[in-house]
Chain A
């Protein structure tokens, strides 16, 4: 059913810290590695080792420069499905392939029902959906639904692959519908924001903006360079000798 559940029991999602993300793309490759064998497998690649590789990915990291005050700051920006509360990608789906789970709010695609019309990709402002031209169906982030409930994994590993991979702890996973959860507390504490809130999709995932700079730029000029003109002493003599035209 592509009608949305009135209320979901949980709102599972990610909190992404733009202050600590270093743009290493470990979440990108880890996502690809897990999901090409997971719920939406395969994540087809075309010409992967050639000159024009193309393929299906659920998570990407952009790198931006934001001008702010003196100079600018580099911001690494991971972009994946935000598992919105009111996702138009679900309601536009003509077949019922796209759905939002009433239990945990995860937005999924039933690949066996998808006709590949791609209207959901048009309806998503966040670019979360990627079309698999080999299989002819739309694919997207599953929030690693096959990890987070997977009792074959150690409990510590029951988080999305991108969260498990992040070396700086910039990605947090939890229930954003529960105001007392660790992720909700983090969002409240750091002033987490929605992306494009005015479009009305009500994304579950939140982004933590970079922290304000704590100190003014230091005024520490570099040491003056050594003189390149010939001086006295032994080195001056060597310099003069080596500079002779005859040599």
Chain B
């Protein structure tokens, strides 16, 4: 699949934003973060900026962005519509939570409920995002049991790494949370490796014989229907990344998982200002790492329509 930069930025940024929002909504009222309005203001502003910026990025992918409001209408059948509705609905408790924390300086009662609802909305929005991909049967890499947990784990992981850096910057870090952040990175790393292992051996769900209705024998293309690459080939048959996928996977493993894991664990051990530097470096390493991870998520995904264009039936689509 063609990796569109707008969707890569949207899913990674809003995923991190929702992860951060969910953690703040739960840990803030529980008294596990600084209670002052400054910490709440800066942290929630960062979460809102990532979510809002991501949502804005996603409209760049649309052919007619001025009609984006129409996407709120078909929540009965469409996960994309549900994602849109949930993202907007989540802003209501999140907004109340932010007003309560930053302006009213309260984290109890209704504000606590708003925080928990914001966390719930954040999780539901990430689930909807994941289901958009997980329900696309023509793309085996996405329509697998690995997709939904991956989006949830990565949202929690990137949110936790961000919150860990914020806690260090505000001098309020706790070893327990640093270890939790490190654990989410380890979980994300293990899940990504398991996903790759699964994808590398997963065949396309259908064959060229199924695609053409021609039973038996091998199907070989004699002639394409057109001389130039068309929309299908450009959008579904993207193949540049596969050439470099081994190297890009190593970059992902290093930048998104190994380096942040080492830095987060290191920060948990040493404390003080050097630890804050390490925690921020973990964010700065993981952000590009996750962009590469998401790029591969698209670029390595095969679509069954490529069977119509493959030169020879080999079980692997172009």
* Interface-located stretch among A85-93, A143-151, A175-183, A214-222: A85-93
Asked whether, in the complex, the Cβ of B63 is within 8 Å of the Cβ of A75, the reply is: no
B62 to chain A: which residues have CB within 8 Å? 115-117, 136
Chain B CB within 8 A of A113 CB = yes
Across the interface, name the chain A residue whose C-beta is closest to B142. Answer: A122
Docked pose: A114 CA to B71 CA in angstroms? 9
B305 to chain A, nearest CB (A): 4
Task: Contacts A94-B71, A115-B62, A196-B211 given; indicate if A68 touches B78 (C-beta within 8 A).
Answer: no
Chain A CB within 8 A of B56 CB = no
Chain B CB within 8 A of A2 CB = yes
Number of A-B pairs, beta carbon distance below 8 Å = 198
Docked pose: A94 CA to B26 CA in angstroms? 31
Docked pose: A18 CA to B308 CA in angstroms? 15
Of the candidates A67, A91, A123, A135, the one whose C-beta lies within 8 Å of that of B63 is A135
Docked pose: A62 CA to B310 CA in angstroms? 11
Asked whether, in the complex, the Cβ of A199 is within 8 Å of the Cβ of B71, the reply is: no
A74 to chain B: which residues have CB within 8 Å? 222
B251 to chain A, nearest CB (A): 26
Task: Contacts A2-B78, A63-B223, A95-B74 given; indicate if A199 touches B205 (C-beta within 8 A).
Answer: yes
Across the interface, name the chain B residue whose C-beta is closest to A55. Answer: B230
Docked pose: A139 CA to B288 CA in angstroms? 36
Docked pose: A53 CA to B220 CA in angstroms? 25
Asked whether, in the complex, the Cβ of B63 is within 8 Å of the Cβ of A88, the reply is: no
A130 to chain B: which residues have CB within 8 Å? 230-232
Across the interface, name the chain B residue whose C-beta is closest to A121. Answer: B235
Asked whether, in the complex, the Cβ of B138 is within 8 Å of the Cβ of A207, the reply is: no
- Contacting A at CB under 8 A, from B60-99, are 61-65, 67-68, 70-74, 76-81, 84
Of the candidates A88, A122, A209, the one whose C-beta lies within 8 Å of that of B214 is A209
Asked whether, in the complex, the Cβ of A64 is within 8 Å of the Cβ of B221, the reply is: yes
Task: Contacts A67-B218, A92-B78, A96-B74 given; indicate if A125 touches B225 (C-beta within 8 A).
Answer: no
Asked whether, in the complex, the Cβ of B212 is within 8 Å of the Cβ of A117, the reply is: no
Asked whether, in the complex, the Cβ of B210 is within 8 Å of the Cβ of A119, the reply is: no
* Interface-located stretch among B30-38, B40-48, B129-137, B165-173: B129-137
A196 to chain B, nearest CB (A): 5
Docked pose: A62 CA to B304 CA in angstroms? 16
B231 to chain A: which residues have CB within 8 Å? 54, 56, 121, 130-131
Chain B CB within 8 A of A10 CB = no
B196 to chain A, nearest CB (A): 21
Docked pose: A48 CA to B303 CA in angstroms? 28
Asked whether, in the complex, the Cβ of B225 is within 8 Å of the Cβ of A75, the reply is: no
Task: Contacts A60-B226, A61-B225, A96-B70 given; indicate if A194 touches B213 (C-beta within 8 A).
Answer: yes
Chain B CB within 8 A of A198 CB = yes
Docked pose: A229 CA to B206 CA in angstroms? 58
Chain B CB within 8 A of A24 CB = no
Chain B CB within 8 A of A3 CB = yes
Asked whether, in the complex, the Cβ of A62 is within 8 Å of the Cβ of B63, the reply is: no
Asked whether, in the complex, the Cβ of A115 is within 8 Å of the Cβ of B71, the reply is: yes
Docked pose: A209 CA to B137 CA in angstroms? 25
A52 to chain B: which residues have CB within 8 Å? 228
B136 to chain A: which residues have CB within 8 Å? 88, 92, 122-123
Q: Mark B149-190, 1 if CB is under 8 A from A, else 0.
A: 000000000000000000000000000000000000000000
B236 to chain A: which residues have CB within 8 Å? 121-122, 127
Asked whether, in the complex, the Cβ of A118 is within 8 Å of the Cβ of B235, the reply is: yes
B63 to chain A: which residues have CB within 8 Å? 114-118, 131-133, 135-138
Q: Mark B83-126, 1 if CB is under 8 A from A, else 0.
A: 01000000000000000000000000000000000000000000
Of the candidates B61, B213, B225, the one whose C-beta lies within 8 Å of that of A195 is B213
Asked whether, in the complex, the Cβ of B74 is within 8 Å of the Cβ of A116, the reply is: no
Asked whether, in the complex, the Cβ of B215 is within 8 Å of the Cβ of A198, the reply is: no
Docked pose: A92 CA to B226 CA in angstroms? 29
Asked whether, in the complex, the Cβ of A66 is within 8 Å of the Cβ of B138, the reply is: no
Chain B CB within 8 A of A12 CB = no
A41 to chain B, nearest CB (A): 17
Docked pose: A65 CA to B218 CA in angstroms? 8
Which of A18, A74, A93: most chain B Cβ within 10 A? Answer: A93
Asked whether, in the complex, the Cβ of B219 is within 8 Å of the Cβ of A92, the reply is: no
Additional A-B contacts beyond A113-B70, A117-B62 (14; CB < 8 A) = A18-B213, A63-B225, A64-B214, A90-B77, A92-B79, A92-B136, A123-B137, A126-B305, A127-B232, A131-B231, A135-B63, A195-B210, A199-B206, A200-B137
CB-CB nearest 4 A-B residue pairs: A116-B63, A136-B63, A94-B81, A60-B225
A-B contact pairs, 11 of them (CB 8 A): A4-B77, A72-B217, A94-B74, A96-B70, A114-B67, A117-B61, A122-B138, A126-B305, A127-B236, A127-B308, A199-B137
